[in-house]
Structure 1
Amino acid sequence: MTFIAALGLFLFSFNRQEYQQLLLVAARQTGVLSCAVVLTLLWQIKAGILPQLDIHILGVTAVSLILGWRLGALSASLACILHGYFNGFSLPEFGNLWLFTALLPVYISYGLFVLCYHYLPRHFFVYIFVCAFIFAGTVGCLKILLSAMYYYTVDAYTWFELADNYLHFAVIMWFPEAMLNGMAITLLITYRPHWVKTFFDREYLDK
């Protein structure tokens, strides 16, 4: 079920022109693969009490801001394949990882960025503290909440088990998720702003 939903979201992100440009520009290929490797390494550093409900830093918000939502979905999907390969996931487990750890966070991260872009001042510090810092922590918490709701819906765990052993980690993980993504984006837009697809010099710096 989750695999089919994730596949649908991934196909929705597919854009022929975007992928043609990806095949032609080596720098884009390097960016997508580098982000995938970084995400894989981040996801390997994990903890948790309940099976399939691991706690780790996502890093997906930064990737979505760097690559955009279409290539961000591709990079996160590649990270899922690498992570699944090293951990020997079954197809249902891979579907859960692909949907809740990769694609939904990419869509939510980029959706929040679009809202910020249209409704908040386009300022350097707004981009860093809202789009990268606050939104990253929010996405990390939403990932935990959505995963818990899914496992409760399919009767894998009781709500008491989830609340006692998983949900409270959302509060704990908010700050490190926000801090890591915020620091990564701050460094990139300071020293390599042309690497960040969603950062526009004329709009965010000429204020």
Structure 2
Amino acid sequence: MATTLICLLAFAVSFDKAQFLALLKTPQRQTGVLCCALVMAILWQVKAGILPFLDIHILAITAVTLVLGWRLSLLSTLLASLLHYAFAESSIEFFSFWLLTGIIPVYISYALFAICYHYLPRHFFIYIFVCAFICAGLVAASKIVLTSFYYWSLGQYDWQTLQYNYLFYSVIMWFPEAMLNGMAITLMITYRPHWVRTFYDQEYLDR
């Protein structure tokens, strides 16, 4: 129940009437949200894991957040989570899955982007290597750490089991996550910069 309330509150905070009305009126935005949801849902199917509830997979959340912005990214992760549950068996309760795999990573991704935007030089390579590459790796590691704490707090697993069977993947998964997100953002801001909501030509290129 608490997880459900947290998810609904986090999604309610993201609601912006003007932005969602623009989404309804703009087919290109609708396509972007749906395509991102489909890509995430497919990537989440390619997973590994030793124990129930503790799946390991590519998130792609950081790239989606940079492309759509945090508000539409939350909507996209909701659609991806629904697709995941519609076409794949999952042992994790829906709202727990959406919270740990979608909502929290989106908030972390956007918070890291905001920190980079305000405190680091606004440069093309800063955007690629810090906002996309490094931040994506941090998000992947954070997701595994937070998931470990979540199931430890529920008493589902003891800490030693989590440490040796799941938590150590935070060291391994950061690089493929960082590489995939970094490559995706590099391609998009090179060939379709207008698709990336958080990339501003006049700030990142005129330097």
What's 2:202 paired with?
202
1:137 aligns with 2:137: yes
Alignment partner of 1:105: what SS? Answer: helix
What's 1:53 paired with?
54
- Decide whether the 8 Å contact of 1:52 with 1:93 is kept in 2: no
What's 2:83 paired with?
82
* Counterpart code for 1:133: F
Query: Partners of 2:116 and 2:149 in 1: how far apart?
Result: 27
User: Runs in 1 of length 4+ with deviation above 4 angstroms?
Assistant: none
What's 1:19 paired with?
20
- CA RMSD in angstroms, aligned pairs only: 1.0
Unaligned 5+ runs, structure 2? none
C-alpha distance after superposition, 1:118-160 (max 9, x if no partner): 0000000000000000000000000000000010001000001
Query: Partners of 1:3 and 1:95 in 2: how far apart?
Result: 6
Query: Partners of 2:56 and 2:97 in 1: how far apart?
Result: 12
What's 1:117 paired with?
117
* Counterpart code for 1:194: H
Query: Partners of 2:4 and 2:44 in 1: how far apart?
Result: 19
What's 1:128 paired with?
128
What's 2:160 paired with?
160
* Counterpart code for 1:173: M
Which moved further from structure 2: 175-184 or 3-12?
A: 3-12
What's 1:99 paired with?
99
Unaligned 5+ runs, structure 1? none
Alignment partner of 2:57: what SS? Answer: coil
What's 1:66 paired with?
67
* Counterpart code for 1:39: M
TM-superposed deviation, 1:88: 4.3
- Identity %, equivalent residues: 61
Alignment partner of 1:157: what SS? Answer: coil
TM-score (norm. length: structure 2): 0.97
TM-superposed deviation, 1:89: 4.4
TM-superposed deviation, 1:11: 1.1
